[in-house]
A and B are shown apart, each in its own frame.
Chain A
Amino acid sequence: MFFTEWNLTARLKATLRLQLVLASILIACSNTAWASGTAAGTVIDNMATVNFDLGGINNTQNSNTATMTVLERLDVVVTLQSPQVLVSSNETSRSLLFTVTNTGNGDGEFELFIDSTLSGDDFDPLPASPAIYYDTDASGDFTAGDVTYVPAGNDPQLAADESVDMLLVNDMPPALTDAWLGRSQLTATSTAGTGLPGEALIGAGDGGIDAVVGASGGTSAAFGEYLVADVGLSILKSVAVSDPFGGTEPTVGATLTYTVTVEVTNGGTATASVFSDPIPQFSTYVANSISLNGGNLTDGIDVDAGELDTSGQPTVVVRLGDLTLADGIQTIEFQVTID
């Protein structure tokens, strides 16, 4: 049987070992309604009424009005929305989704910060430039429509209970080890001020009323994780022989039809994968016989996905692009005749 050397190059080294499909760990985000409470600035009055009899006559006496003004409580919560994001070395622009919620009882404005240098993980993601975006198109990931966050330029302004979706975008460094974790953290801080819970900030509230720092201290942070997932590939090759006499003997003149299936078997991505297979010695390539998933590819170098590369030893080349598990089985076929 004429088997040739074949190889598949990808951004990540192809391996034949089957990896466990890495389950997405959905970070449980509690669906508690963040009831921020009575609006800042609300005035609450209270008056008691006493009814009594005196000298046989019924009387009513009101008290004074005891009044108090509800101050603004400064509170914010940052919640991670993304599960662990599976990444490969050198990948760029991978995003993590967060929600920033004003859990205070007044209008809030918040400044945002990214930190990808956290300890407790295996590698530091590399913040893109810029790194923080509004998820403007609500797609849940980094897409062309997302507006860049500009510190002190377009800080999110949130009413009590209101929230906004933000994206952190990081690139991945080279030479990452499979199963490594990299963390990236989003911090939101109230521009009205921060401090110890219960601390009063004079004049810092809506309309100049005093503000009180809430339990959050006026700041909140949450981190997401990138998980390095080495791509797992399954590559299988078979050959069918058809001899000139209607049989299957590999005689001179017999046609060999090679079928190669390529499949990503786990959560990784085989980036820019290219299948190449030199035509074996003592055989001649059958012109125009390369196909990908049933579609014929021309022999010349043009816009389609494959060709016969004749710059050196004749080699079948088929470009498969970025492959993931979702792309399913890619089937390549080509034919040679035995010299």
Chain B
Amino acid sequence: MKTLTKLTLIATTFLTLTVFAQEQGHLNVRTTVQKEVVTVNESGEAERNLVPADTVVPGDDVVYTITFTNISDETAENIVITNPISKNLTYVQGSAFGPGTVIEFSVDNGKSFAAPEKLLVATDGDTRPARAEDFTHVRWTLQNDLLAGAQGMARFKARLN
């Protein structure tokens, strides 16, 4: 257990350094993972809150939030954000969100993308419409350019298998 923690720390440090180096570039991309907890308030309404993903167990919902900032002094164009979905996670239908984006999914490990209702999966010589558990990647395509200094975000929710 202690070893795992150490390895994770080292890996994170390494990646942080790498990202720092890349931050000298044009786009700063940050991703976070949080656990969604649903509580019922005094009025009997369900409230959703995002908390650190420190105590996740199978069945929990987690939310990934990607924030990208144009830190260059030029306009960034044709921005496409791609995010793989871990095999231990099942995408929650309809949860992908990104202002000003077209959202598509892949069921073939990122080779091709399409709107969810257009995706088909081959099983035993037959094809059927893809289900959330078939999605391997989610992709947001920005419809507009990102001006220098501007920021955008994308988000999706998945359930831990």
Q: List residues of A whose CB falls within 8 A of some B CB.
A: 36-38, 41-55, 59, 61-73, 105, 200, 207-210, 212, 214
Whether the pair B62, A68 counts as a contact (CB closer than 8 A) is yes
Whether the pair B86, A44 counts as a contact (CB closer than 8 A) is yes
B99 within 8 A of A: no
B108 within 8 A of A: no
Range of interface residues on B (Cβ < 8 Å): 35 or more
Looking at the assembled complex, report how far the CB atom of B136 sits from the nearest CB atom of chain A, in whole angstroms: 13
| Apart from A51-B78, A69-B56: 4 A-B pairs, beta carbons within 8 A | A50-B81, A52-B78, A66-B33, A70-B88
Q: Which of A73, A207, A208 has the most B CB atoms < 10 Å from its CB?
A: A73
Whether the pair A62, B55 counts as a contact (CB closer than 8 A) is no
Among B16, B30, B89, B146, point to the contact of A44 (Cβ < 8 A): B89
Q: Which residue of A lies closest to B1 (CB)?
A: A208
Q: Which residue of B lies closest to A55 (CB)?
A: B74
Whether the pair B79, A52 counts as a contact (CB closer than 8 A) is yes
Inter-chain CA distance A148–B54, complex, in Å, is 41
Q: Which 6 pairs show the lowest CB-CB distances between chains A and B?
A: A37-B58, A73-B57, A208-B1, A63-B29, A66-B33, A63-B31
> What's the count of A-B pairs with C-beta under 8 Å?
136
Whether the pair B26, A70 counts as a contact (CB closer than 8 A) is no
Whether the pair A43, B8 counts as a contact (CB closer than 8 A) is yes
Among B4, B66, B84, B146, point to the contact of A41 (Cβ < 8 A): B4
Whether the pair A105, B86 counts as a contact (CB closer than 8 A) is no
11 A/B residue pairs, CB under 8 Å, sorted by A: A44-B160, A51-B79, A52-B26, A53-B77, A63-B19, A64-B30, A66-B31, A66-B33, A67-B8, A67-B33, A212-B57
B92 within 8 A of A: no
Q: Which residue of B lies closest to A212 (CB)?
A: B57
- Given the known interface contacts A37-B160, A200-B55, the answer about A48 and B26 at a Cβ–Cβ threshold of 8 Å is no
**Chain B contacts for A214, CB-based, 8 A:** 57
Whether the pair B27, A44 counts as a contact (CB closer than 8 A) is no
Whether the pair B161, A37 counts as a contact (CB closer than 8 A) is yes
- Given the known interface contacts A65-B15, A105-B58, the answer about A46 and B83 at a Cβ–Cβ threshold of 8 Å is yes
Inter-chain CA distance A66–B2, complex, in Å, is 20
Q: Which residue of A lies closest to B3 (CB)?
A: A207
B100 within 8 A of A: no
Whether the pair A46, B1 counts as a contact (CB closer than 8 A) is no
- Given the known interface contacts A42-B88, A48-B83, A66-B64, the answer about A61 and B25 at a Cβ–Cβ threshold of 8 Å is yes
